[in-house]
Amino acid sequence: MPLFNKKSAKISNPSPPMTKDPHNQHHQQLGHHHYDNNNYYNGKNPPTEMPTAPHIDDLSGNGNVTKPTLVFNCQLAHGSPTGFITGFASVKELYQKISECYDFSMDEILFCTLNSHKVDMSNLLGGQIGLNDFIFAHKKGRPKEVEIVKSEDALGLTITDNGAGYAFIKRIKSGSVIDRIP
């Protein structure tokens, strides 16, 4: 099953083969115009104007300038084949693309880390992804219910949002009420 749909390639007709003519200077003086600017004879029609790169003034959206497609490598943190993720503009869209790639619900993604499959909150996906970053998606595990008695001012938890509307525990302070739960 392919990860992405194939795009149809647009192929233009190649120009006719050209051969170098050593007598170019003589023919140009006689008024023959069957040579391009590089002194190659095309054997058919006079050369046409070659397309040029767009000028700064042409970059206002009228030219044929296209942005390169960014492709990111992705794996599930517990192990999977490498998937190629592209075409997202937010964390929510990234989670959607990952879930489509690996065929599971977007709600199953707890968080993503960059360049490490380990549960390391210093590598947690934030607002920016580098061009060479490898994305690891961490899926939810089995839920665990516990009852606690709050005996101190703070529980010792740091809770954060994954960017797609789901909160999870980012840190547990050592020696805290929560840390003492088996």
| 97 occurs within a structural domain | yes
End-to-end Cα distance, the chain: 43
Instruction: Using a cut of 0.75, tell me whether the model's pTM lies above it.
Output: no
Burial class (CB within 10 angstroms; exposed 0-12, middle 13-18, buried 19+) of 109:
buried
**Most confident stretch, 23-32, 64-73, 104-113, 157-166:** 104-113
Residues 81, 129, single domain; the answer is yes
pLDDT in tens, 126-174: 777 888 888 999 998 888 888 888 888 888 888 877 777 777 778 888 8
Phi–psi pair at 80, nearest 5 degrees? -175, 170
**Of 139, 157, 172, which residue constitutes the final position of a domain?**
139
Range of the domain at 35: 19-44
Task: Give pLDDT tens digits for 29-42.
Answer: 444 444 444 444 44
Task: Report how many domains make up the chain.
Answer: 2
DSSP H or E stretch at residue 76 = strand 72-76
